[in-house]
Structure 1
Amino acid sequence: MATELYALSILTSLLIGTLFLLLLYLAIRKIVAKKKREQVNEYKEKYNPYLFEYITEGTISRKLVPRSGVEKKAVEELLAKYAEILEAGEERKNLSDLAVLHLTDYYRGRLKSRKWSSRMNALYYIENFKMGTLLKDLFSMLVQKRTSRDELIHILRILANFQFINLYEYLNRKFSFLSEFECRNILIRLEDGHFDQFTLGFHQARVELQHAVLDVIGVKKDIRYLPFLESIFQSYSGESRLRALKAIASIGYVNNLDDYLPLAYSTRWEERMLTARIIGSMRDEKGIASLIELMHDRTWWVRSQAGQALAKFPGGSAILKGIVDTTTDQFARDMAIEWIHKGV
């Protein structure tokens, strides 16, 4: 019994000692972190006037030379704050130039870190500051086994920001495992001239990439892509056809409304809904009869879109009131009343 009590006391002492050491470690770590934060804030106050002068006027100061990690952290935080409020222009370019001048080696070292969080953090700032000097390092990361999926996607986003010429090959073949959502997040960063390679290679692209291309066009709402969308809508079926129609509806214009009016009787409620949206955008009176028909659709989304479309027409309220007075369909009546009150 005495032996067991002795062993228990030893174990308790070890546990208390371990907890004490852990508490001491956390306390020291907190003190160090607090001191580092104070140093960062001090350098931010010191460097901010010179940094502001460079960004706004392009004037270089010899006093703005961050050497230590703490100093560079201060510059990083200041640049990040300015990046939140600056749009494209000379000031944004000066910000990028300053980041390239003082933080290139800093981020190059962090990209080689064993810690995933350090590498991801560096990628975020490289993208935010538009630092083209590190593109070679990013290409090297693409072939490294330790590069995670999140890092890969972030690198491809950065390459898209710099309009990388071989991005189509990367997304279609080299990294064909990327989802349509991931591809869409990358493609949205391309300018028109570089995005065109994805419309030209659309028929040879994998399905996920095709869907991403159609969705991005819908977001861009660029009418120059309307002939492309209409050709996809006419020649494809299933989800690709629907995505093309959705993009057309987002643009809000078609060359010939007559080509789309038969879709008011489609077996797919999504096509009926998008047809109502297109008619509403075009405000062509030849589509009013189809919209009245769609007000009696069995799907709420279709009825709602048809009501909104009718409300956009001159005299749309009168049309909706006519539906209220004449229809025997309670759902159509309720939807017409709703849009009479909502308007557009």
Structure 2
Amino acid sequence: MRVDLTVIGWIIGTLIVLQVLLLAILVWRKILRNRTEQREQQRYAELLPEFVSHLYGETDLDVSKLKNDYRVAQRLASDIMSSTSDEGIQEKVQTTAFEALHKPYERALKDSSWPVRMNVLYYIQSFQMKGLAPLLRSRFEEMTVWDDEKKQLARTLASLGDLSILPAVFSDIQHSQKFYRDVLLRFPEEVDPQLLAYYEDTDNPSYQCAYLQRISDREAQEQIAQVEEALANDLIEVRMQALKTIGNLYFMRTPELLRPFFTSSQWQERMLVAQTVRKLHINAFSEELSQLLGDAEWWVRYAAAETILEVEGAERLNFYVENHPDSFARDMASQWLSTESKLNAHA
């Protein structure tokens, strides 16, 4: 029994020593981290006035000071980029950031740590480091798996205006529509002619839908011709995206192009055309909306009733409550009138 207690005592003593050592290591690491942060904060405060003075053309900046501490340089550039909308200042920040950071970033892109590589991709995008595009493109082409890193590489290269990624992104591999949209939306305005040319040449529905979303997100009403042309596309997903884009633009030149959608065999198109008429506030489709009010699909009836209420008014909807030949249409019209009355009562 005495031997057992001795062994237990040794084990407990060893565990206590190990815990003390671990605590000491953690404390020491914390002290070192605090010292590093204090030093970086001091360097940041020292370099900020000089950096700002350089950006406004008042003094020259010795970039070697930034190269010696890239974390401080990165923070300086990032903070200024996020605090100004002056394009001239932003361009100077980007130029200075490239001089100071491109070498550390080249090393970081080869780092074994995934978070380090991902983090630097975001900074390259933020600082618009086009000089690193060849390195990014090479890495993009080497990667065979479409993981998060390769997708972020695609987004970053798109933000740098690298059109070479389009065939790879819009290949037979099916990504989410959000990813396609993210990539196209990041391309700068100066490559719009090339993006349009690719749109006109390709029969890839993923690209076509993403391009129409780009028009919508950028509120590019001047491109309504491409959107209206897409209404006649053979693929339903492209036609539906064209309808959504028109609704989001609140504009179209030829409303008559909407007429075939009221009798579409796809209920989603019938619903979307009703919503589009409401957003554009078009008064030319009263008979078609009446038919959709009695549609077999609940969502189509719902959209039609909402549109009739907003475009033609409560009196017209009340007329359908009393006179529409379809009982489902009368019920939907009644529901919307009841909802409208409650909203007015609380207004």
Taking structure 1 as the reference length, the TM-score comes to: 0.83
The aligned residue for residue 336 of structure 1 is 337
In the superposition, relative to structure 1, how do residues 58 and 320 fare at CA in structure 2: closer, same or farther (>3 Å)?
Answer: farther
Unaligned stretches of 5+ residues in structure 2: none
Distance 1:274 1:342, change over 3 A: farther
Aligned to 1:162: 160
For residues 24-70 of structure 1, give each alpha carbon's deviation from its aligned partner in whole angstroms, at most 9, with x where no partner exists.
Answer: 2211111111111111211121111122223344742349822433x
Deviates more, 1:247-256 or 1:184-193: 247-256
The separation in 2 between residues aligned to 1:195 and 1:78, in whole angstroms, is 34
Aligned to 1:240: 238
Distance 1:273 1:145, change over 3 A: closer
What letter is aligned with 1:233?
L
- The 8 Å contact of residues 307 and 335 in structure 1, kept in 2 or not, is answered as yes
Q: Is the 8 A contact 1:43 1:74 kept in 2?
A: yes
1:188 — aligned with what? 185
Distance 1:53-1:325 versus aligned 2 partners, 3 A rule: farther
Tell me how far apart the structure 1 counterparts of residues 341 and 290 of structure 2 sit (CA, whole Å): 14
Deviation at 1:225, TM superposition (A): 4.0
Residue in 2 aligned with 1:86?
A: 84
Could you say if the C-alpha distance between residues 248 and 336 of structure 1 is closer, same or farther in structure 2, counting changes exceeding 3 Å?
Answer: same
Distance in 1, matches of 2:222 and 2:90, equals 29
**What whole-Å deviation, never above 9, does each CA across 1:60-112 have from its counterpart, x for those lacking one?**
2349822433xx32221222122223336111111111211222222222122
Number of residue-to-residue matches in the alignment = 337
Correspondence for 2:50: 50
Counterpart AA for 2:65: V
**Counterpart contact for 1:226–1:254, Cα < 8 Å:** yes
- The answer on 1:9 being equivalent to 2:9 is yes
Specify the SS of the correspondent of 2:65: coil
Letter of the 1:34 partner, please give it.
Answer: N
Taking a change above 3 Å as real, the CA distance of residues 148 and 14 of structure 1, as seen in their structure-2 partners, is farther
CA distance in 2, matches of 1:87, 1:158: 21
The answer as to whether partners of 1:184 and 1:212 remain within 8 angstroms in 2 is yes
Question: Contact 1:321 / 1:337 at 8 angstroms: preserved in 2?
Answer: no
Distance change >3 Å, CA 335–CA 62, structure 1 → 2: same
Q: What is the correspondence of 1:145-294 to structure 2 with a 5 Å cutoff?
A: 149-173=147-171, 176=173, 178-190=175-187, 191=189, 192-203=192-203, 205=204, 207-294=205-292
Q: What CA distance in whole angstroms lies between the structure 2 residues aligned with 1:194 and 1:258?
A: 30
User: Is structure 2 residue 31 aligned with structure 1 residue 31?
Assistant: yes
Contact 1:303–1:335 under 8 Å retained in 2 = no
CA distance 1:296–1:220, change in 2 (3 Å): farther
Q: How many percent identity over aligned positions?
A: 22
Give the SS at the match of 2:240.
helix
Structure 1: gaps (5+ residues): none
- How far the C-alpha of 1:193 sits from its partner, in A, is 1.8
> By how many angstroms is 1:114 displaced?
1.3
TM-align CA RMSD: 3.2
Q: Partners of 1:107 and 1:113 in 2: how far apart?
A: 10
Tell me if the contact between 1:163 and 1:194 (Cα under 8 Å) persists in the aligned partners: no
CA contact (8 A) 1:138 1:155 kept: yes
Query: Partner amino acid for 2:238?
Result: S
* Other-structure match for 2:113: 115
Cα contact 1:311–1:320 (8 A) shared by 2 = yes
Is the alpha carbon distance of 1:63 and 1:151 closer, same or farther for their aligned partners in structure 2, counting shifts above 3 Å?
closer
| Partners of 2:207 and 2:63 in 1: CA distance | 49
Matched residues in 1 for 2:58 and 2:337: separation? 60
Report 1:96-135 matches (<5 A).
96-135=94-133
Structure 2 letter corresponding to 1:86: T
Letter in 2 for 1:25: I
Q: Distance in 2 between matches of 1:340 and 1:256?
A: 34
Q: Give the Cα–Cα distance (whole angstroms) in 1 for the partners of residues 98 and 221 of structure 2.
A: 37
Partner-residue secondary structure (3-state), 2:89: helix
Shift of 1:292: 4.4
Q: Mark the CA change 1:177 to 1:269 in structure 2 (over 3 Å): closer, same or farther.
A: closer
CA distance, structure 1, for counterparts of residue 226 and residue 132 of structure 2: 36
